[in-house]
Structure formats: C-alpha cells, structure tokens
Copies of this chain bind each other. A is one copy, B any other.
Amino acid sequence: MREINIGLLGLGTVGSGVIKALQQNNHNISAKLNAELKVKRILVRELAKERAVKVDAGMLTGDFSAILDDTSISIIVEAMGGIEPAREYILQALGKGKHVVTANKEVVAKYGREILAVAEKMGVEVCFEASVGGGIPIIRPLKQCLAANEIQEIIGIINGTTNYILTKMATEGKDFAAILQEAQAKGYAEPDPTSDVDGYDAAYKLAILASLAFGTPVGFSDVKFTGIGHITREDMVWADKLGCVIKLLAVAKLQAQGLELRVEPCLVPQSHPLASVNDVFNGIYLKGNLVGEVLFTGRGAGDLPTASAVVADLMDVAQTILAARSARPACTCYRNLPVLDQHEIPAAFYLRVAVRKADAILSVNQIFNQSSIPVTVAGKKLKQHKGGSVVYIISDITYTALADVVAKLREAPGVADVSLFPLEGLCADDVVSAKV
C-alpha cells in the first residue's frame, strides 16, 4: 500500500488530536484512500516532554529543516498556532512544493493572501477546514457547495468559550467573572482568556468566512470587534424579557456599498436559529439568494473535532497526490468589495440606562429630547430611592449618531451605567411589541 508521508508541526491539543485520529481511524482511512497517511516527523519545542499521545521518540525533532528538507514528506500539517514561526514555516514548506494543511485561524486571517499566492504559484494545495468551526464542515461548503449563490449574510457563533460563558450567565444567573473562572477550571477557557473573551478569535474566523462567502479579500484588520466582558447579568435578564438572548455574533453582510463586518455581543430573538446554539457549540447561519437560509452546528473546538477537519484535509490532499491531479486554485476571491465603516451603518439598538434614583431619569429624558433621536421605552423597572433601569429601543440609527448621546448619558447626574447592544435578526418593532 502506498504511503503518504506527513510532517506535523506542533504536538499540543491539535497536533495530539491529529495523531489520535489517525491512530483510532487508521483502518478506515487507509481503506478509503487505498494508501496510508503516515506521520513521519513531528516538530516539537521540547523533545523530552510527556505527551498526551504515544509517538515513537525518534519521530520528534526540534529542527524544522529536518522536516522541510525531507523530500519524502509531501504534506505539512501546521498545528503550532500563533503567527511566527508558523507563518514562516508554512511559506517555506509551500516554497519547497509541499502541500500544507493548517488549523491556524490567526495566520490564515492575517497572512492568507500571501500564503494562498505562494501555494498557487507552486501548484500545491493549502487547506484550512479546521480554522473555523472545528469539525463543522464550512470552508469547503462555502468554496464549493454554495458557490452558485450570492451570499447575502453570514452570521456565526464561532467562539465556543464565549458561547459557553454567555450560556452559563443566562442559565445560572452568575456574573461574567465567576463563570469565566469556572470555565478556566474546566479547561473551556485558557489561563489567558484574552483572545476568546475580547473577540480576537471570532474576528480571525470571521475574516476567513467572509472572504470565502463573498469572494473578496478580507483580513483580520478589516474586522471591528468587541468582546463579552462588559455584559452584565442585568442585561441578560432584560434581553430575556424582550424575548431575546445575548450572543457574541460574528456578522458579515453584503450591503449595497460594500461589506459590513463586525464581531460583537448582540440581542437575538429566541426564535432565531442561532439563539438555541448553546454551551461550547458553534453555529454558522447564512442566507444565499438561491439556497435561502442554512444553518450548520456542531462542536467548534477540541482535539478530535479539530482533527476531524485536519485529517479530512489530509485525505483530500492525499487523493490529489495519489491521482497526480493538479492542485485546485488556492484563492477563491474574484472581486474587491470595500469594507464599510461599521459605525456608519444604520442599525437598531438596545440601550439600557441604570439610575441610582428614579428621578435621575428626567435628565436622561432631557438628553434624548435634546438629541432629537427618537427612542421607544421597551421596559422599565424603577424604585424611587433604589433607582433601577429603563430599556430603550432605538431604530435605524448609526453608532456614530448614537455615540455622542451615550457619552452624555454616562455623565448625566444619577446615571450609574449605560449598556448598548445592537439588535440582530429582528426589527426593533418586534422587540417593542414583545412581551414586556
């Protein structure tokens, strides 16, 4: 049986998952390919470290050139994460005519164009199904199965850690900080949770999704993002009263003038398909002008779900090699859409003002009156001496137009807090006429 030799870079969660998957399903994979996928060398930082998987010590190396220069290795799996040296190694591997499979969303989001260009020049494949949604099939479906559509919007819950935290905040009635700590203890959040909770991770993934869905180059720097650290329990309770949930959404929409791109916590109606994507699950929802609405859900992270996508990519590349078929075009961009300034796109917002005393709401009303921004009261819970909150819905307004008002509200006497979230997947009327 023919062997396809693989060089694996990194033996952390993803790398170990790939080894486990190849060991566990070896029999089926070989039968399907009529060839064996064989990991020949593994690049690690520490040769002596104890590993989650059993690998022959002789396979480990600390020297990338031992893999790069091994002409028997035809596919490199990059499972290191981070930018350097991952980017450099990917480019070198492609430059040597090796195919590359990567799970690294950061490197694809930031250096995808450069990487795809080199792959195309060298006539090799570069696959990154694992970079978004873990094992959920989404990269290939966008590139192929949905290619006939003009995609109108793609909205994802594409970070499992934040979705877990938000789900627990909503169901257990605890604060962000408490749930984050629990998530860290369970291994659902990293010791340094910045990349997840501040929205970086979702922004990397949105850049990748949007560039495939809309056939236009989108990089990480094109995506505005906000994390979930400022979401309070109180806003979750109000969202529920309004028939909504708060989710960290990665949103890309085709507008008349260009692309709308943003990652931020939004209010979504409970009837929206994404509203019931809970815990560590990911969900990717899209609308195409032929297919209509489609939703993909599944586990977006974890060693084996990610390995599911990496090994599928490996099998796909292996088939190209075995049949001596030419590589497919790496880049699917065919146009250059401008990226719009998110702050200038009209939207509907939920705005909650918390006051220390009920009568502070008078100065709040004054600020709204002076701004001539029409607001609708969607909910109110005020006690004379303890204060409380008023929730407003403001429709068809840009963030820029709202920012000035929000700044004034924050400084108004008696105002304790102001929270602001866009409404997604419903018009403001739906909320205002809701059960509050």
Mask: chain A, 312-347; 1 = CB below 8 Å from B; 0 = not: 101110010001111011001011000000000000
Q: Across the interface, do A144 and B335 meet the contact criterion of CB distance under 8 Å?
A: no
What copy number does this chain have within its complex?
A: 2
Which chain B residues border A140 with CB–CB below 8 Å? 140-141, 144-145
A146 interface neighbour in B24, B137, B150, B310, Cβ under 8 Å: B137
A137 interface neighbour in B134, B141, B289, B335, Cβ under 8 Å: B141
Interface residues on A, range: 35 or more
Which chain B residues border A25 with CB–CB below 8 Å? 148-150, 289-290
Asked if A185 is at the interface of the complex by the 8 Å CB criterion, the answer is no
Q: Across the interface, do B150 and A28 meet the contact criterion of CB distance under 8 Å?
A: yes
Q: Could you tell me the distance between the alpha carbons of A310 and B149 in the complex, rounded to whole angstroms?
A: 11
Which chain B residues border A312 with CB–CB below 8 Å? 144-148
What's the nearest-Cβ distance from chain B to residue A272, in Å? Answer: 12
**What residue in chain B is nearest A32 (Cβ atoms)?**
B334
Q: Across the interface, do B288 and A293 meet the contact criterion of CB distance under 8 Å?
A: no
Asked if A199 is at the interface of the complex by the 8 Å CB criterion, the answer is no
Query: Contact residues of A with B, CB < 8 Å?
Result: 21, 24-25, 28-29, 31-32, 129, 134-137, 139-141, 144-150, 215, 273, 276, 288-299, 302, 304-305, 307-312, 314-316, 319, 323-326, 328-329, 332, 334-335
Q: A135-B291, A291-B299 are in contact. List 18 more A-B contacts (CB 8 A).
A: A31-B335, A32-B215, A135-B292, A136-B294, A137-B146, A140-B145, A141-B145, A146-B308, A146-B312, A147-B316, A148-B314, A290-B305, A291-B298, A291-B308, A292-B299, A293-B298, A294-B296, A295-B298
